[in-house]
Chain A
Amino acid sequence: MNDLVERAHAVAAYWHRGQLRKSGDPYITHPVAVARILTELGAGDDTVLICAALLHDVLDDTDCPQQDLRAEFGDEITDLVLEVQGFAYDTSQPVSERCRTLKLADRLHNMRTADFLPAEKARVTARETLEVFVPMAHQLGLGKMRDELDALASARRGPGGLAFQAVSTGAALLPAHARDRYVEEWQSDLHRLPGRRERLLYTLQLLVGMPRLAAALRTPLSAPRALTGRCVRWLLRSNLRTWAVLTPPLAWLVLDAGSRSEALTLLITIPPLLGAGVEWLRARLKR
């Protein structure tokens, strides 16, 4: 590795010491990941770009004095860091290609780790990504990055408020491995539906079917039913028993929700959903 790059890493690690990402990782993992993304893009030989990537948050987020940076890394790197820091999405002022490439790598890593953001913040970031960064990656000819940003952001932005929220919340009933896939699939359906009424109807139907879908995904077909069946029947015979089983995970889900609004959505959507599932199971087991 280049000496200057190594110095940039040391300086960034020094100033970000003790800071944490939302994921709980040490903050320095973020600039390092951004530099790695740039290297993978083939910019590994551009020392200025890689150093600026490692240092891109030290002026904004730490007490690192600008003149120290300038003294050690020179004007080109420092000015690039300043340009990246002052980058505004909505002005038409000219932005250097390096700055745009760095911002894209920054955004890509943030989107890859967006699971740790509160839901609403993730949604805003996703919309901004689709509006600004996906076209920017396209302009710069970075097809692979464009597609990854597009997929990451599309999965998080949702076509419109309530339907999106309800669908993602309802998907909490599905097995973890299937959740993201169905949420993305349904959003793509929702995106195609023209009106609020249609979207609402589509969503309600989905929510009603959710317990059955969860069951279909968990036991693809004729799983051993005898013993499980008897236990389930016994549980379902009384409301008390049923809810004694369902309440703890529900409470856990609500307490674990990222924000108050998310918790509220969960409380509003899940119990009727579970209720519908229970009714359906009872009807089905009577047959």
Chain B
Amino acid sequence: MKLSNKTLLAFSWISLLLIVTATAFFTYQMKTYSRMETDLDEYMPKDHPAFIYSDEAEELFNIKDGILIAVENPKGIYNTSTLQKIKDISIGLQDMEEFDDADIVSLYTADNITGSEEGLDVRAFYKKSPKDEAALEELQNSVRSNDMVYKRLVSENENIALVVASTNDDVFSMEFYHKILEFAKSYEGPEKIHIAGVPIVEGTMAYLGPADMKRMVPIVLLVIIAVLFFVMRSVKNTILTLLVVGLSTVWAFGLMAFMRIPVYAVSTMMPVMLVAIGVADGIHLYSHLNLHLKANPKISKFDAVKDMVSSMWKPVVMTSVTTAVGFVSLLTSDVYPIKYFGMFTAFGVMAAMFFSLVLIPAGIIIFGASMPKMKEEKAGGEEKTKFSHRFANSVIKHKYAVVGATAVILIISAFGINNIWINSSFLDKFERDSDIVQTDTFINQNFGGTNTINVVLESEEADAFKTPNYLRLIDELQTGVEDLDIVGNSFSLSDYLKRMNKVMNADDPEFDRIPDSKNLVAQYLLLYEMSGDPENLWKVVDYNYNKANVNFQIKSDNSKEINKVMSEIEKYREGFENKGITLNYAGSGYKALVFTDLILIGQIKSLLMSILIVIILIAMMFKSITAGLIGSVPIIITAVISFGLMGLLDIPLSTTTALISSIAVGIGIDYAIHFIERFKIYAQETKDLELTVVKTMHHSGRAISFNAVVVIAGFLVLLSSVFPPNRSLGALVSLNMFTSFIGTVTIMFLMLCRSGLFFKNKKGGLK
């Protein structure tokens, strides 16, 4: 490349101008078209059979998630003012635009169906809050004798009443979340108001996660800037390196906005990835520049830049391309937000590469290079040379210890991987002593459960679920599953029929069972339609009576617990299938479970694929399969340790933690490539293994350690976050950086020495 200094200068200015223009364009796009997607349903792959089925069932039976507002009065709810409050809350919710009247269920809205010798009585429990003792007592007694209400809407100890408001994800917004919280709060005192339920948990998470991030990100950046400055000792270099990271993030989000793709929760991981990956190029470039300037103090900035670019463009391009490919492999995922995440992070990585190779050199040419502080640095530099020398030698000396330690760690990790599990729980993301978890526990202690699982039964026969035998099967299923501690109660068509049977037989408990004839079932149902609210029936059975919905209330949203309930339900599958009835699941809890499985499978698929691609790419770059295999070692170690530790520490996989494995590939591969590239250059230059080892460690090892220190320091800050998922994120990113770094300079380094790669006369082997 014979370029005059003048051309270089002009070229630098033009590049700078172009970058500024493009950045302005992307910033505009971001400002104008970026929007946050908070609807969790948007994450689900719509064409997956489990989701199609569940969505259809949800629509058919009007299955929604419930917001639970609990009114607690330690002196009991049966007094005029508490009952008035229950009424006010119910009416207040019914008046909200987001709810239909039928969405609100409480002691005030419920029908009390009772029976006597001569007839059937359908009444509200109360219309005006009862004023005198006798009326209050009568109300108390009627609640106690009604299973459809007692322990469902009024707690067993009669101190708490529940108002349930059903809502769909599509009406649930951040504003609505705050509106509901405020509404509930306004009824506080003297009664205590608690608010829980899946929408509230999701809402709190959607609110708390980003809010916490907003607080933490500036601190993270500040720490990264400080450490970056500390290792670079130059304001200019620090700023330019940060610009690489910042601009690549802006471009990535800008392009997303330009393509009108909304920002999903996972997309917020993009800056995390780009920070971790983007600083690497800058550090390596400057590290090379400084070493070169130190060796040739008289050189002009133009020549220094030429040297920097000509000797570093290859590893920078190689690392970026491999990293980008790692992210592109996420396109195999079934989950759209993750596909987009992979695609735009890959774009961001390529943008970072472009900035590193254009913006940094242009910046140096325009603004000049910071000269390494010679005096101070010399002493320090020498020490560092010595340090890397000593380090390299000691690794070689204790090679068996290194190999042994690696093997032990890997074996332990492999053991840990066996224990790894996925958790789709939202609640487990919060601190145990947080309000939201405590409210949830409180409501679960007093009522059926804050979460639901829906079992959908289907028969080909019309009117199948008017058949007493089938209804008894459903009843057995409910009784069996309710035996689990975690299952609070359940609800189905059987409950209506048992209730009607009892009521029509003068409330004789003897008749609290499924009626014996199909005609009687049909007639009770007709009666219910005439006297009760038929809308309720269509929540448990369809028009043709051949699809039924059995609703189980569960006291946890933890995947392990939900799976336990499902395996209990599975025991009844055969009994149903013998009668030609199919059994399926529906509802948001079930979808979350399937969804996390999908993410995990996708994640493992893409991880394996990206490792394979990376091996092939490195093998091609260095024209050696051995190099490819060696290069993949740090990634594999990082991934194994990362998953292994999660298994050992009982940290479940979730959407975010699973994604962090991508970072293992992205970063691990960078370290490996830089290191191998340097090793190759020095090997060819010196043709001496010992010299190559020391020089590589000094040049590349140093830059890698800088890189690791900067990012680890930054992400360790997240450990002080109040939001547990952000803490795991910080811990896992730091851990991955650390293992990639150690893996590269120890075990991979040893393998590289051992392989005799890049030495023509294969005199390899260590002394």
A binds B: no
Residues of A bordering B, CB below 8 Å: none
Residues of B bordering A, CB below 8 Å: none
